[in-house]
Amino acid sequence: MTQLPVLNFSSEATGTTRDGRRASLPPRHLADLDLAGRRAAVAELGEQAFRAGQVSAHYFGRLIRDPAEMTDLPARSRAAITDALLPQLLHPVSELATDNGTTRKTLWRLHDGALVESVLMGYPDRVTVCVSSQAGCGMACPFCATGQAGLTRNLSTAEIVDQVVWFAGQAARGALPGCPDRLSRVVFMGMGEPLANYNRVIAAVRRLTEPAPEGLGLSQRHITVSTVGLVPGIRRLTEEGLSVTLALSLHAPDDDLRDTLVPVNQRWKVAEVLDAAFEYAARTGRRVSIEYAMIRDVNDHPWRADLLGRLLSGRLAHVNLIPLNPTPGSKWDASPKPVEREFVRRLRAAGVATTVRDTRGREIDGACGQLAASSGGTVGEREDGLLARRANEETQ
Ligand code: SAH
């Protein structure tokens, strides 16, 4: 039997650094607070509390963060208010773009030197951002680049929200040619396991969906939270009364294989995690998305398609197949197209809606499972924060 990693699945703590020190949270930011908290923070400075609403409207409503542009704040207190509520949390290290500039990946350095990535994807009808919820990840899925380096720490609420607000600002300023200028969707499919940073992720979802000036005003239905299958987290999410989409990274319909591909399966088995996901779907009326990376000769057998079809038939679920993005040095590869087509055919024959995900951002290591900033070397680091674009992208 293969050696299985030992995991701490339930850590709600901020996390510890790899050398065992306690990770430090970033400075407080308005996105960590509700409006009442922001008003209190402004009042502490000796300023009038309603200034909190003004700053919030700039940040969430107008997508600006430069104090010089906040001309409705008195010039003498602008710096004090923005220092207290809008510290810079994300420092861009590099940005890579591909697909004629409609896919962009940014590597950020956080206040303590931790690195995370986010990816912006523009389509003719929508703009989606893929955000990280943790620096690194503790779930140890062997095919995922992020999983290889382990967990550095949880992100704060504002560190999550600010990834979205930053890109919303880029989109509003016309950064994505041929795409809407309004960012409309958020997927928690970047680095990290969202349900292992539960409280901060839920607070971020609330901030992203409350209308301005409280939040960014996105639709809950346009937010997808993706999980390896932390059953207590799924059950808690079911009770939140949110209507976000749940994605479950299943990757195998049988426990023997899933125990190795998604090690958390050693704790919560396929039947149990599917039960929790179906319960979420029943409660919210939202179809659950079953994520399945197609790995050649590992999980792509016709019998596994049939077994998956039986597990999902008649349920409020659809399957999203992801051609595996091989990580550097991995022994695994994506399934051949004919094998993928047969897998799709069998699932559909069982009455299960099935799609194959497009692999946006592959060339810039921005596709699913390729985010591995903390291991270094995947992106050319630039200290000056300027764009480090691929030379060929402008010529396409
Ligand atoms: N921890 C969460 C979210 C992050 S990963 C989760 O596991 O759901 C987002 C999706 O990308 C997951 O379905 C994950 O299993 C998948 N993924 C990870 N590595 C991949 C790879 N190398 N190729 C294709 N998909 C991958």
| Index of the ligand 1 atom closest to the CA of residue 192 | 1
Percent above pLDDT 90 for the chain: 79
- Quote the longest CA-to-CA distance of the chain: 70
* Cα 25 from chain centre: 19
Omega before residue 92 within 30° of 0, cis: no
Ligand 1 probe mutation, 261, 291, 365, most atoms within 8 A of CB: 291
Residue nearest to atom 19 of ligand 1 (CA): 369
> Where is pLDDT greater, at 168 or 364?
168
Residue nearest to atom 24 of ligand 1 (CA): 324
Residue nearest to atom 11 of ligand 1 (CA): 368
How many CA atoms lie within 13 Å of 197's alpha carbon, on the beta-carbon side? 32
322 C-alpha to center of ligand 1: Å? Answer: 9
Dump pLDDT digits (tens) for 116-158.
Answer: 999 999 999 999 999 999 999 999 999 998 888 899 999 999 9
| Index of the ligand 1 atom closest to the CA of residue 368 | 11
- State the average pLDDT for the chain: 88
Sequential DSSP letters for 104-165: EEEEEE-TTS-EEEEEEEE-SS-EEEE--SEEE-SS--TT-HHHHH-EEEEPPHHHHHHHHH
Ligand 1 pocket, residues with Cβ under 6 angstroms: 139, 141, 143-144, 189, 193, 226-228, 249, 291, 293, 322, 324-325, 327, 368-369
Which residues participate in catalysis according to the annotation?
117, 368
Average pLDDT over residues 261-281: 98
Dump pLDDT digits (tens) for 17-27.
Answer: 455 455 678 99
Average pLDDT over residues 78-97: 95
- First-to-last C-alpha distance (Å) of the chain: 49
| Index of the ligand 1 atom closest to the CA of residue 327 | 22
14 C-alpha to center of ligand 1: Å? Answer: 22
Average pLDDT over residues 205-221: 97
163 C-alpha to center of ligand 1: Å? Answer: 19
Ligand 1 probe mutation, 132, 321, 322, 370, most atoms within 8 A of CB: 322
- Residue 389 has a pLDDT of 27
10 pLDDT more than 90: no
Token pair 């091989």 is found at 326
249 C-alpha to center of ligand 1: Å? Answer: 7
- Residue 372 has a pLDDT of 66
Among residues 133, 102, 141, the alpha carbon closest in space to that of 251 is found at 141
Dump pLDDT digits (tens) for 333-347.
Answer: 999 999 999 999 999
pLDDT band at 369 (very low <50, low <70, confident <90, very high): low
- Residue 23 has a pLDDT of 64
> Where is pLDDT greater, at 115 or 388?
115
pLDDT band at 391 (very low <50, low <70, confident <90, very high): very low
| Index of the ligand 1 atom closest to the CA of residue 144 | 19
The packing angle between helices 270-284 and 231-238, to 10°, is 10
Dump pLDDT digits (tens) for 279-330.
Answer: 999 999 999 999 999 999 999 999 999 999 999 999 999 999 999 998 888 8
85 C-alpha to center of ligand 1: Å? Answer: 34
pTM of the model: 0.90
87 C-alpha to center of ligand 1: Å? Answer: 31
- Residue 366 has a pLDDT of 67
102 pLDDT more than 60: yes
381 pLDDT more than 50: no
Token pair 């790899």 is found at 18
